[in-house]
Structure 1
Amino acid sequence: MSSYSFVAADLKKIYGSTFQASNISAGKKVSFAIYDQSKARARMGMEAYGIFVDCQHPTHGTLPSFLKIFKSDIPERRGRTEFLIHTGLAKSHDWLFQGVPYAWLPGSIVNGHRIFGHVAHQIGARFGGVSEDFSRLKNQQCWDDRYHPSMRTMFAAHLCCAVAAMEKFGMVHGDLSGGNIMIGPGPNGEPVCTLCDFDGFHHPSVAPLPRRFDGQPCRPLGTAGYQYPELAEKVDRDPSATDPSIVVLTDRFALGVLICELMVWSPQVETILGRNEILSSQEIQSRSLSSLPDNVTKAWPAGFALIEHAMRAGSISDLPSPEDWLAALGISLWNQQEFKKQPYLEFYKRSGSRINLVKRANLSLTQNGNFGGVSADLANVQYKFVDSKLTFTVNWPVQIFVINDGRSQAKGTGPMDVQVNPNQFVAANGWEIRVFDGIP
């Protein structure tokens, strides 16, 4: 058991001090100066304290930063912090991941006090302003008409981009909630939405934090109101945090709940619901929105329909993706592209966990038709090939998916027209039609 501890009284003894920290990514030390007590804006969380500092960077000059000092030294934390820094998220995506740590304090001495912690950018400060977390804006009844619909849509799109980027790294934030997204200025002074607090992240190559340390719970497993039903049920069955195998495997459910809140929240909604979140734990566990008042759900029907789909998803892979949420926001992710050659199609039929090739074929030279020649079932899928662009009309009353580069986007329930690009797959009703620009 570690002898290290840091308590609130220790904060007063380090204000105004200077120290150095390891910037693991760059392989060098950088210098920091802690603000005085009146400007440090100390914040306290379950596992750490946070205060404002300035980084004196040899290349970028003064960087307003946020020092997180952990109350306990958990051995797994060092490797996890090094992994976060080495991902390059903070560097390659800049403002979108300002909250990712860029320096590590593995036992630094500050004014005689040993500190385990890390440093991230002060969100918004590099761009001439300050940020506030979404939960606080809601609690202070500031999330109102000042945030007009187009601005809310933009913030929701930022969240989608952040989660999609993390998924490409194979990472899960682990605690997406109103308290862990920040609203503040971006590179050009425009308002942006940014993630923070990555302590509970999950990646298959990195050991998770233990569920308990020194007798206390220490690993976040999401926040009530944002946990997907399967996770909420596991946590409910293990309230004493004894099962180390329980981890947060996806951010997709929390992403959807946050987007719905960003889009419809107001002081009036808070009054109607009598709480500070759209969903209660009871609604998540019942997998139903029937108890939500109509004047809340009708404020954004497409969004709440997608949330209800997420609640009833049979598995994590069925949860709506960031692309699905962008589509619900009316943001087109994939522009329709022209085919340079005659489209070439492969038809697959799914049976249980297996998928079998049924037929390969060039698209007919006629501009219109259906695929009934492959299977009578596929007569319900019509096509139009006009001006080198391909569109399917899927007449099944089932969920339709478009798969692009291995990422699935739910288009909604048919009948509907689906624009298809080269190297995309259309999946519905147990069929998968793979489309190529000529024979692959």
Structure 2
Amino acid sequence: MSLELTGLILLGLLLLFLAGGLWVGLALTAVASLGIVFFTSAPLGPVMSQTYWSAVSGWSLAPLPLFIWMGEILFRTSLSEQIFSGLAPWLERVPGRLLHVNVVGSALFAGVSGSSAATAATLGRMSIPELRRRGYPDRLIFGSLAGSGTLGLLIPPSIMMIIYGVSAQVSIARLFIAGLLPGLMLVALFMGYLIVWALLHPHSLPQAAQRTALGERLRASARLLPLLALIVGVIGSIYAGIATPTESAALGVVGAMLIAILSKSLSWKNFLDSLAGAARTTAMIGFILAGSTLLTKTMAYTGIPSAIAAAISALHLPPYALLAVLLVFFILMGMFLDGISMIVLTAAILLPMVEAAHIDLLWFGVFVVIVVEMAQITPPVGFNLFVLQGLSGRDGLKIARDALAFFVVMIVAVGLLVAFPQIATWLPAQMTH
């Protein structure tokens, strides 16, 4: 049987299983197993056992459950109130005013959560009722929350970067550092859009409150100090080279516990809920990784990835053309799959293409994460849309429409990243000097 027909059969089976509602991990395992049995001579049992074990037992995955647990702990604290009250006095005179709290607050929480959904949920719990009460338009409240909530995937520590680093065998520490400047660039672009919108629609926002005295602003900012200390401890220890990602994740868990204790938010129930939530998420990701690794092994046995990579190389596509195709490809996939599944499903096929086009895998990781961020706000399967819909009861398609402008801003960010790759590669290069 030809490689083309084999690939189409496996792809059709995968789409059939996913459309039928089968768990992603199970769908991947089922397709991989059928591929080994019918299209290769490899023994299924030994291949599956060895592949499953190697996929989830590597030390490179050790930071994953710790960072997830850190985010789960902070998600259950009063952190959202502290972020809002600490930032609001400083942003009340900027065009767009308190809408910027969604953006800056998301960036701060992203620095300790690693999760897009957790970032959107944490900020949304406080800012949605507060901004509605003050008369801000829903389209900007939900649009800014949906868009800036995706920063949890880019600003380290990022769960998505850990997944990509394991799949592409790229240093997780270098990926974390590579995400810093692009994350700050996205923050600036989001805030810039809000400023321009506010200047063009000055009567659509509520009147500015009375200016807060400097002393009151400084006292309000004191609430942010524990969070800022945790961010510096987690990210700074990696950048300074004094801690590995695993060690910084352990430090982050201890710091999150201290913040929860000091804010009197850590009850025995919250503690158990955070453990259970971290265990569920970690198990889900592990199952998907194991299934995708088995499918990758199956594809390698069939020879499909190398054939596709050779075919792409023979086309001699310029890197920019290849990236444009991949951008559209990931956006379309994001309408139906979550970010983790997108990365692990495509790694075996795309990474050989990217290497053949002489594209830096470190830079490509940042590119992929930003595009996966866009998938978080594309219907029908946009996790941030689901989170905000659950918080507010607002229709998910309306929230998607609210987030459209921020989706366009992300496309601009991708364009800037392609035009100026140093945005992602400059900081990691400093680590080697």
TM-score range for the pair, normalised by the shorter chain length: under 0.3
Which structure is higher in strand share?
1
Scaled by the length of structure 1, the TM-score of the pair is: 0.27
The structure with more radius of gyration: 1
TM-score normalized by structure 2?
Answer: 0.27
